[in-house]
Amino acid sequence: MLKTTYLTVSVILVVCLSLLIIFKSNYLKAESFSIGYIDIQKALDSHPDAEKANKAFQEFKNKELKDFQDKEQANLDEQLKKRFGDKDIEKLSQQEQMEAYKIFSEANAKFKEAAEKKLNEKYETLLAPLLKDVEKKIKEVGNKKKLTVILDKNAVLYGGIDVTDEVIAALQSK
């Protein structure tokens, strides 16, 4: 009986010491955990090539998208002409007007989807090198400040170290 009590006490003691060691080590890890945050949009806007990328995007949007819109409008006109001939839309029967409206609505939805896709692809193509530079500078600043993690400022409710200005300065000195 005394032997089982001694064994039980020993097991409880080992478990308690193990828990104490685990909690103590987690407490120490938490102390060395540093969080930074950044306004990523501000950093991207401050990139030395941001103006050039924005200008290229606007040119694409104005020219390429206009060409695409003209092409799609020509396709729609051809579709309507094929279905209704040269009739004026106001001279069509109510049922034909509804059909024309349906054709127009479908073409408009397809155009918007395709245009949005083209714009997003171009934006991502132009933005990718800038974002890569910003991420590189974020890592450099984070390592220099010995930060464990850097989050977008919108993900931080309280605390942390703002590294936005340091990242912008690093981008400017590139």
Q: Are residues 140 and 63 in the same domain?
A: yes
Q: Are residues 18 and 71 in the same domain?
A: no
> How much is the CA Rg of the chain, to the nearest whole Å?
31
Structural domain range at position 153: 33-172
Q: Are residues 22 and 80 in the same domain?
A: no
Contact 168, 140 (CB under 8 A): no
Contact 164, 43 (CB under 8 A): yes
**pTM over 0.85, yes/no:** no
pLDDT tens digits, 98-108: 888 888 888 88
Contact 122, 151 (CB under 8 A): no
Question: How many structural domains are present in the chain?
Answer: 2
Q: Are residues 58 and 113 in the same domain?
A: yes
Helix (H, G, I), strand (E, B) or coil at 149: strand
β-sheet with 161-162: strand ranges across: 149-152, 35-38, 161-162
pLDDT tens for the 174 residues of the chain, in order? 444 555 565 556 655 556 566 666 555 554 567 889 899 899 989 999 989 998 998 888 888 878 888 888 888 888 888 887 877 777 778 888 788 888 888 888 888 888 889 888 988 898 889 999 999 999 999 999 998 888 888 888 888 899 999 999 998 886
